[in-house]
Amino acid sequence: MTDIKLPTVEEWIAALRSGEYQQHCGDLFPGANVSEQNGTLTQDIQNQTHYCCIGVYGMLTAKAGFNFERAKESYALVEELGICTTKELWTRNDGTIDKYPHTFSQIADYIEQQMKEKANV
């Protein structure tokens, strides 16, 4: 079995700020539920242009060689980073905090802030 080097938080933040990805609300990417049912999540996530902030991390991990069977695996990988919860992220991404979606850049700022706070604890 090949060891997979998962993306770092810094790589994820850079991807969120890159402007390369369009923001999507409600799921990892449009059609993720169908992809999960069809068993094509890993392939499909790499061929998208629109993602939620967690979906961007999922796409980076898929490109690194991680094979997803379920969307919740992407959520678990983000949780394992130990920076913030996926609930904190999707509520910012989908607009349930402050009633408006936060941009990827704002979400990247939030992740950085959480990293600094965790480092100072």
Note the pTM of the prediction, 2 decimals: 0.89
> And the tokens for 113?
């802030």
Annotated domain spans of the chain = 9-119
Question: What pLDDT is stored for residue 1 in this prediction?
Answer: 37
Using the predicted structure, report yes or no on whether residue 91 has a pLDDT greater than 50.
Answer: yes
Beta strands in 13-74 (DSSP E): 22-23, 50-51
In one-letter notation, the amino acid at residue 78 is V
Q: Which residue has the higher pLDDT, 96 or 58?
A: 58
